[in-house]
Structure 1
Amino acid sequence: MSANSSLLEQLHLLRSADDWSPFLARFSNLDVYYTKEYAELFAVIQNGTPNAIYFENENGKVFYSFIKRGIDGTGELYFDLITPYGYGGPLVEGDPTIIRSFYSLFTEYCLKQNIVSETVTLHPLLKNHEYIKEVMKTDYVRKTTAVDLSLSLDEIRSQYSKNAKRNIRKAVKNEVTISVANSKEEIDQFTNMYYETMDRHKASKFYYFDRSYFHKQLMDTNLSKSVLLLAWSHSEMIAGVLLLIGNQFAHYHLGASRAEFLSLRPNHLLFDAMIEYAKMCHSKFLHLGGGYLDEDELYRFKTSFTNKASFDYYLGKHIINEKKYSELTKPAIKSSEKSYFPAYRMGQND
């Protein structure tokens, strides 16, 4: 028996052709970001292939989904790993020290597969940065915020900021209404509005998702669902939010709005509707994400609905093959850019 075969007996490797659901369903804290369908969507966008690993021993179990990407310009078949867009990293149940056993095997597997490095966007609500720091470097990125849905809807709303309450009343007075998208035409109309919003914010090319993405993301799986909430001014669609819903957590995934209608305050009413919808789905938290920087305008807007609750977002940086990583990294890289990871992808659009 080869060493690789022995490893695979301990690490259950799951590819796109496999059914991930029976393994994910063993976790009470599973989230939409770990589903195969989500990984497949972003593997196309992030130029890789979706994979997952399941590991179990007497201390607990681990599920880890990732995208495997080829490294350009090596002349050889070398790869690195990245989390599907959003938040992820190892999903652990049981004794958190299982992460050491898992990574001992996983690192060995990665070396045999010519995997050079691993970039992990760690999950603020699962707080997996607290134990993954045992096996890799973790850097604090920024604060995120979430609504605690264990409270009653009245209690949640009572904790909105004065400004949020005032703007919700203004939207209602302006006869803004909210509906759930229920047709291909409405999804397409939202997509156009999303592209306009990205243009307005001068977003990077990465965020211009293909039109088919929006339709695929709104297809429910047996472990998660998605919904598109739309704001209207009479017959005009003026804003919208895409909400992802997993076992315990709901996530504000992306939004769009028309600039000429922002004075009607549709986004405030949409966020209130999103909170109500997530609570109706029995989610424990609605994660709203963060801003571009701590305490910026976007972050302050989001925290106006969350009673300023904060959850830390960390990035995991794991060099697996030190020798190859050094070869790939340009020696002339500026000191101000050394924090970029992996350094050999500096200037590339991830």
Structure 2
Amino acid sequence: MNTIILDSNSNEWNNYLGNINKSFQDIYYTSGYYNLYEQNGDGKAKLFICKEGNNLAIYPFMLNEIIDYKLGGKYFDIESAYGYGGPLVNTDDKIFLNNFENEFLTYCNEENIIAEFIRFHPLIKNERIFNKNIEVLHNRFTVYLDLAKGLDRIWKEDIKSKNRNMIRKAEKSSLNVEINSEYNIFKDIYSKTMDKVKASEYYYFSEKYYREINRTKNYILLNIKKEDITISSAIFIKYGDYFHYHLAGSLQEYLKFAPNNLLIWEAVKLACESGAKYFHLGGGVNNSLDDKLFKFKNSFSNNIADFYIGKRIHNKEIYAYLISEWEKKNNMKSKILLQYRY
């Protein structure tokens, strides 16, 4: 078995992705996407590759060195970039898949990687490729649209009647829709929304982040305006068979005009025109079907997917030490796998 590890600036990264089944290829696996989050400070982007004959497996992740714990050597952890990820394979050959996982576990041991966190892809359903010493947990539900149905059927069959009424209300409120590239306006609205929901500092992306996504055709910025004021704005991503609802924000004082309902409906139109097969709206802020954000997205489609996460500890002794030190320092119990980072 041939094993290769690439950095995000490698010209070969996307060539390997291109040899995976087209229905599995998504933005979250590209070198450009991982490079974006490397520049955002999320770690060093890596692609782990295994080849054997015609069989191929790839696995992108962010590699981070663990600092400030006096470990007496270099230790690391890994996780999927923001969004979705996990391994992709072009075969169901059980022997190859077993060898691929063994090669990866050996790599983690040799490189002093102590823990691994994976956000699996809800539509690709890749949460069962890894099965050794890994805890796979259902995190929440996500919503998606089957765009093959076409716009008319989506309007009649998927979008709930109350939502259709809200969209009509928005249209009657003289709201205007525009595709734009003014990310400063989006950033302002998005930041206010993050303030409102008391989001962590991570979700306040930098100017550089917005400049980088503005350079690629995969990102679409859609605005809803009331007269000359942008009152709702969202970034969508189109890649291959997938159209994603990425980031969004709206002004609280204008929500009575239902701008977000109109915004998503206009995005549905764009998604249908784009040639994508699926529009993935994502999930809510937790795993409850009564979550407000989930219910809003669910009003556009009854198609629900399962989002899984994976947790794997490669060095239990060092991991236990890190968690113990964090808990002593913060006088509280840890709640997440990579808690010692925060």
Residue range with higher mean Cα deviation, 40-49 or 271-280: 40-49
Q: For residues 234 and 56 of structure 1, what CA distance do their matches in structure 2 show? A: 56
What is the TM-score when the length of structure 1 is the normalising length? 0.89
Q: For residues 140 and 333 of structure 1, what CA distance do their matches in structure 2 show? A: 26
CA 1:17 to 1:170, structure 2 compared with 1: closer, same or farther past 3 Å? same
Displacement of 1:333 after TM fit?
5.1
Within 5 A, what are the aligned runs for 1:30-45?
30-45=25-40
Q: For residues 286 and 136 of structure 1, what CA distance do their matches in structure 2 show? A: 30
Is 2:17 the counterpart of 1:24? yes
Q: What SS does structure 2 have at the residue aligned with 1:243?
A: strand
Q: For residues 241 and 128 of structure 2, what CA distance do their matches in structure 1 show? A: 20
Q: For residues 198 and 228 of structure 2, what CA distance do their matches in structure 1 show? A: 28
Displacement of 1:43 after TM fit?
2.4
Aligned sequence identity (%): 31
Correspondent of 2:85 among 84, 88, 106: 88
Within 5 A, what are the aligned runs for 1:167-246?
167-182=166-181, 186-220=182-216, 225-246=218-239
Q: For residues 11 and 239 of structure 1, what CA distance do their matches in structure 2 show? A: 46
What is the TM-score when the length of structure 2 is the normalising length? 0.91
Specify the alignment match of 2:337 in structure 1.
341
CA contact (8 A) 2:29 2:85 kept: yes
Within 5 A, what are the aligned runs for 1:124-203?
124-133=122-131, 136-158=134-156, 159-182=158-181, 186-203=182-199
Q: For residues 192 and 146 of structure 1, what CA distance do their matches in structure 2 show? A: 28
Is 2:266 the counterpart of 1:268? no
Q: What SS does structure 1 have at the residue aligned with 2:129?
A: helix
CA contact (8 A) 2:323 2:334 kept: no
CA contact (8 A) 1:60 1:95 kept: no
Q: For residues 133 and 281 of structure 1, what CA distance do their matches in structure 2 show? A: 36
CA contact (8 A) 1:116 1:321 kept: yes
Correspondent of 2:6 among 2, 14, 26: 14
CA contact (8 A) 1:100 1:135 kept: no
CA 1:342 to 1:145, structure 2 compared with 1: closer, same or farther past 3 Å? same
Is 2:73 the counterpart of 1:76? yes
Q: For residues 313 and 60 of structure 2, what CA distance do their matches in structure 1 show? A: 18
Q: For residues 49 and 109 of structure 1, what CA distance do their matches in structure 2 show? A: 16
Runs of 4+ in 1 over 6 A off after TM superposition: none
Count of aligned pairs: 330
Q: For residues 333 and 249 of structure 2, what CA distance do their matches in structure 1 show? A: 32
Unaligned residue ranges in structure 1 (runs of 5+): 1-8
Displacement of 1:339 after TM fit?
5.5
Displacement of 1:272 after TM fit?
0.6
Q: For residues 56 and 309 of structure 2, what CA distance do their matches in structure 1 show? A: 22
Q: For residues 156 and 254 of structure 1, what CA distance do their matches in structure 2 show? A: 23
Q: For residues 139 and 103 of structure 1, what CA distance do their matches in structure 2 show? A: 19
Q: For residues 173 and 246 of structure 2, what CA distance do their matches in structure 1 show? A: 26
Q: What SS does structure 1 have at the residue aligned with 2:42?
A: coil
Correspondent of 2:117 among 116, 119, 137: 119
Q: What SS does structure 2 have at the residue aligned with 1:232?
A: strand
CA 1:41 to 1:58, structure 2 compared with 1: closer, same or farther past 3 Å? same
Displacement of 1:284 after TM fit?
1.1
Q: For residues 331 and 68 of structure 1, what CA distance do their matches in structure 2 show? A: 21
Displacement of 1:235 after TM fit?
1.5
CA 1:289 to 1:268, structure 2 compared with 1: closer, same or farther past 3 Å? same
CA RMSD of aligned residues (A): 2.0
CA contact (8 A) 2:186 2:234 kept: no
Correspondent of 1:66 among 51, 61, 70: 61
- The Cα offsets for residues 150-179 of structure 1, whole Å up to 9 and x where unpaired, read as 111100111201111001000000011111
- The Cα offsets for residues 196-240 of structure 1, whole Å up to 9 and x where unpaired, read as 11112211111110022122123226xxx1100111112211111
Specify the alignment match of 2:307 in structure 1.
313
Q: For residues 178 and 341 of structure 1, what CA distance do their matches in structure 2 show? A: 42
CA 1:337 to 1:290, structure 2 compared with 1: closer, same or farther past 3 Å? farther
Is 2:316 the counterpart of 1:322? yes
- The Cα offsets for residues 2-49 of structure 1, whole Å up to 9 and x where unpaired, read as xxxxxxx72111113311121111121211011112112222435311
Q: What SS does structure 2 have at the residue aligned with 1:272?
A: helix
